[in-house]
């Protein structure tokens, strides 16, 4: 059984009987998160880009679990310097891991780690992951792009995880077009409500998809979807 659990913002936990991975573990800094990073037990952490609301607790989780961070090269090197085990990849590349196969896709966004300085962390990405025989697309933070059509054509997507929060990423209208391009079985909206500027009603998104072949599955934080 392959199970996907929404941990808030763009963070999803993916597990089956043998493997456990997480995407963009922004937990301790997320006012809506309901689980602490100390409770996360995983073998790999997939990071789409270096912004704080995605890198989040990744380094601490990687170190405490001896888990591998899989990320675009520059971001992987950044994490390695902070003491994490990493596997660098880049856009267009794919690689098999114990838990499954990962391919990095483009994402139209930025990527930097920002504290008192701004550290460039390469290009942002999305992921197509084959896990437990299912194809999961996590777009990362991105605007709508035409190549989503190609991602949909080349991968029979069981689930697509796409942002709807607007302002920093696609909003509802563009996310509906993204669904048309990607043609997944199920779409789960992400990257909304965490901050005032990305407040969104996911039911509006679901409503616009009511005549689509794709089913919108809105997960509350902490809820799971069985693939
Ligand atoms: Ni971002
Ligand atoms: Mn973000």
58: closest CA among 97, 21, 18, 24?
Answer: 24
For residue 178, what pLDDT is reported? 98
CA 206 to ligand 1 center in whole angstroms:
23
**All domains in the chain, ordered by first residue:** 3-217 (3.60.15.10)
| 151-175 pLDDT, tens digit each | 999 999 999 999 999 999 999 999 9
- What distance in Å separates the CA atoms of residue 158 and residue 1, rounded to the nearest whole number? 14
CA 22 to ligand 1 center in whole angstroms:
17
CA 82 to ligand 2 center in whole angstroms:
21
| 23-38 pLDDT, tens digit each | 999 999 999 999 999 9
CA 17 to ligand 2 center in whole angstroms:
30
Which phi and psi angles does 142 have, rounded to 5°? -160, 155
| 49-81 pLDDT, tens digit each | 999 999 999 999 999 999 999 999 999 999 999
24: closest CA among 90, 81, 72?
Answer: 72
Looking at all shown ligands, the one closest to residue 110's CA atom is 1
SS (H, E, C) 50-104: CCHHHHCCHHHHHHHHCCEEEEEHHHHHHHHHCCCEEEEECCCCEEEECCEEEEE
């Amino acid at each position: 059984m392959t199970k996907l659990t929404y941990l808030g913002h763009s963070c999803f936990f993916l597990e089956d009987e043998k493997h456990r991975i997480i995407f963009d573990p922004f937990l301790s800094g997320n006012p809506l998160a309901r689980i602490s990073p100390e409770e996360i037990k995983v073998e790999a952490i997939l990071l789409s880009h270096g912004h704080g609301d995605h890198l989040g607790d990744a380094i601490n989780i990687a170190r405490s679990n001896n888990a591998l961070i899989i990320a675009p090269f520059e971001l992987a090197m950044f994490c390695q310097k902070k003491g994490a085990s990493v596997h660098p990849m880049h856009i267009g590349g794919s690689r098999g891991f114990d838990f499954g196969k990962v391919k990095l896709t483009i994402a139209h966004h930025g990527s930097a780690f920002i504290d008192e300085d701004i550290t460039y962390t390469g290009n942002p990405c999305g992921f197509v992951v084959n896990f437990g025989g299912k194809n999961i697309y996590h777009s990362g933070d991105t605007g709508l792009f035409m190549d989503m059509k190609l991602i949909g054509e080349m991968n029979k997507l069981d689930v697509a995880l796409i942002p709807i929060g607007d302002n920093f990423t696609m909003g509802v209208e563009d996310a509906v077009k993204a669904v048309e391009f990607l043609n997944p079985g199920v779409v789960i909206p992400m990257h909304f409500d965490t901050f005032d500027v990305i407040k969104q009603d996911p039911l509006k998104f679901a409503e616009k998809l009511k005549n689509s072949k794709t089913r919108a599955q809105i997960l509350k934080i902490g809820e799971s979807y069985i693939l």
